[in-house]
Structure 1
Amino acid sequence: MFNVFSSLKSLVALNKVIIENGVFILHCKVTVSILLVFTILITTKQHFGEPIDCLTGSEDVKFGRAVDEYCWIHSTFTVNELLNPKKVGKSAVQPGVGHYHPSRTTKTDHKYYQWVGFYLLFQAGLFYFPRFIWKLWEGGRLKVLTVSLDSILNRTESEVEQRKGKIVEYFLRNYHRHNAYAYRFITCEIVNCANVFGQIFLTNVFLGYHFSTYGQEIIKMLIIANYDESEGNPMDKVFPKVSKCIFNHFGASGNIVHQDVLCVLPLNILNEKIFIFLWFWFVFLAMVSMIGLLYRLLTIALPSVRAQRLQLIAALCDERMVQRVSQQCGYGDWFLLCLLGKNMDPVFYADIISELAFCFGSGYRLYGRRTRNGGCESTTVQKTYDRTSIIDPVYDTVEAPNP
């Protein structure tokens, strides 16, 4: 089984090229990994054995297996009035297990436990879907721009200058053309936030409308000193370890025999812990997602927030240069610069920001000019300047494109 877990390392490990933020990683990597681990634990029989074992009182092994299969497929039930053994006394041998009479007692059918593994796998797919879409939309742009730039120690000065020039040239050629790139990512962020709320709703339906208050009831039971024990253990309500099942079959004389059996569900020991964790994790993820969307809204509405964020990434760059670049960039340009900063050597990134600040300060926008056939012909821009006075740049020579 450990070999199976080791195969998840590629999913948990961060890629060399970071194309998302921390909240996105919590959704598409951390949550997906958690759900896949839970799926593996649920589907393996190494630690918990068979998922159901019904006590028939018969020595016929085949009959016992038939009852197990029937009760596993058609569900089991617990008696609601017997969920608190302390209240009902000897009427119940286990929470929810005792005499059941349709006219005097009510029951709760448990039909979901055989589908828990499939449901967790389905959830993992839903959480990974936004990243799949974003990877298609992103198209490997950052990988092309930042390949091998996480460290420039092993590169010559000429190689560094050449790569710097290409990145600056790309950025200026596509100046104010990155808004669609940024808004696609924001769309995926909104989908992530909607997905976690949708997962809470779907899980609540899946568990018979007990999941929405599941964690709150557990907290009350464990923390509150005067907890009302008449309400019963919430874990026994949702995931009973022992339940009842009625198996109808023909007796020796051909009459129908109603076999009332007890069924032990050892897998529910794990199920109750899994969904307790998922309740707290989904609540945490929903809060973080809402905060992330609020931050995204602030970056769209307030340029000062964008400038502060860019300054944090370009910590080695002069604050005035960062302010100049942030003021000149549109939202999509700023978004791309932030992603570039996560994938570049800090010194190299500071040089990129300095180059852009120089170009914006000089009023120069595009390296190139349109040709008659609609293409773009690159030109050479030669400049000599002192980096300490880059805030007030002056071109020494600028080669304009030939007419």
Structure 2
Amino acid sequence: MLDVFRGLKHLIKVSHVKTDSPVFRLHYSATVIILMSFSIIVTTRQYVGNPIDCVHTKDIPEDVLNTYCWIHSTYALKSLFKKKPGVAVPYPGIGNSEGEQADKKLYRYYQWAILFYTPRWLWKSWEGGKIHALIMDLDVGICSEAEKKQKKKLLLDYLWDNLRYHNWWAYRYYICELLSLINVIGQMFLMNKFFDGEFLRFGLEVIAYMDADQEDRMDPMIYIFPRMTKCTFFKYGSSGEVEKHDAICILPLNVVNEKIYIFLWFWFILLSFLTTLTLIYRVIIIFSPRMRVYLFRLRFRSIARKHVDIIVDKTDLGTWFFLWLLGTNMEAFVFRDLVTEFSSKVDRIVTAGYSAKESTCFCC
């Protein structure tokens, strides 16, 4: 069975250069792997079994009936799920459906995953490998002093030449995080629509079912993913009349589906919660320069407070975010020297610029 998942191994590769947050990586890496794995499991018949097996009559070929019922969907009766199996009904949701069209609950299935990778694809295109190119192996810390000095000079020149050009670059990343939240919430509403309004409260109903009295409770997993359903097949008889054949279908795949979707419900809730917290954190960073100072000092303890203050007070959010990503991927002491030199240059030149303006105004 391991050979089936061999094609997913390229999704598990983790780059040593990090240009995003751990929560963002959960969307495009962990979630995509989970969804693709589940899709492979439910579509690999030799490990799960046939998706449907219908009880058929001799004059209808088995493959024909199974294929028809799988394609055109099967159904159960909503009013019969609370009746006692083996007494009032043979199985929850199964019984006489004559004249009960409005009571029918149809069952269909689908798979998806690509939408979770879309924000990552956008950020990868916008970031363009800039961080990887600029760290120039300064993350390993084994360069010679002359080589380090030359690379730091190149980095300082780049930072100074692009001092006011990283704001939109940072906001693009924040937009991608917002898109991740929109996607996971949209996926939940999409599945809720697909499951006739049952998915949004699916996890809560499963928890409530576990605590409910055994005589009164109805298993929500069987209601959404029944093991047995009904199927109606029509064919012409020998005299040309339309004949109706009522079939009982067993859905062994639903034993797997119910576990998959209850896991996905909790996973999507967790992703939504973590991503919401991340976006609140981003809003605080945008509107609170003092928080940027605190976080930078907390993450890079070797850098003196005065240098961090200069970076935050005399540059913009984009420069702060760009330096944050550089520091995440660079050797600590090399990054400390880089920030120290850069902040000193910013302080010197920006302060000189303000003094020149004040002098000009005074002379006027």
TM-based fold match above 0.5:
yes
Q: Deviations over 1:312-355 (max 9, x none)?
A: 33222223322222222200000101111111111211111111
Shift of 1:177: 1.4
TM-score, normalised on structure 2?
Answer: 0.91
Give the Cα–Cα distance (whole angstroms) in 1 for the partners of residues 215 and 6 of structure 2: 43
Give the Cα–Cα distance (whole angstroms) in 2 for the partners of residues 23 and 85 of structure 1: 45
Q: Percent identity?
A: 37
Q: Does 1:11 align with 2:6?
A: no
Give the Cα–Cα distance (whole angstroms) in 1 for the partners of residues 148 and 6 of structure 2: 38
Residues 80, 105 of structure 1: 8 Å contact kept: no
Equivalent position SS for 1:92:
coil
Q: Which residue of 1 aligns with 2:95?
A: 98
Higher RCO, 1 or 2 (CA under 8 Å, sep at least 6)?
Answer: 2
Give the Cα–Cα distance (whole angstroms) in 1 for the partners of residues 96 and 25 of structure 2: 50
Q: Deviations over 1:169-200 (max 9, x none)?
A: 11011112111101111111111111111111
Residues 172, 365 of structure 1: 8 Å contact kept: no
Shift of 1:297: 0.4
Residues 249, 256 of structure 1: 8 Å contact kept: yes
Q: Does 1:201 align with 2:189?
A: yes
Give the Cα–Cα distance (whole angstroms) in 1 for the partners of residues 4 and 336 of structure 2: 43
Which of the residues 298, 301, 315 maps onto 1:312? 298
Q: Which residue of 1 aligns with 2:199?
A: 211
TM-score, normalised on structure 1?
Answer: 0.82
Unaligned runs of 5+ in 1: 367-403
Residue 205 and residue 191 in structure 1: after superposition, are their counterparts in 2 closer, same or farther (change >3 A)? Answer: same
Q: Does 1:34 align with 2:31?
A: no
Q: Does 1:277 align with 2:263?
A: yes
Q: Which residue of 2 aligns with 1:177?
A: 165
Unaligned runs of 5+ in 2: 353-364
Residues 149, 345 of structure 1: 8 Å contact kept: yes
Residues 209, 217 of structure 2: 8 Å contact kept: no
Q: Which residue of 2 aligns with 1:162?
A: 150
Residues 236, 243 of structure 2: 8 Å contact kept: yes
Q: Does 1:336 align with 2:322?
A: yes
Which of the residues 173, 180, 187 maps onto 2:175? 187
Residues 246, 259 of structure 1: 8 Å contact kept: yes
Q: Which residue of 2 aligns with 1:109?
A: 106
Q: Does 1:76 align with 2:52?
A: no
Residue 6 and residue 149 in structure 1: after superposition, are their counterparts in 2 closer, same or farther (change >3 A)? Answer: farther
Letter of the structure 2 residue corresponding to residue 22 of structure 1: P
Higher helix share: 2
Q: Does 1:139 align with 2:128?
A: yes
Residues 79, 103 of structure 2: 8 Å contact kept: yes
RMSD: 2.0
Q: Does 1:351 align with 2:337?
A: yes
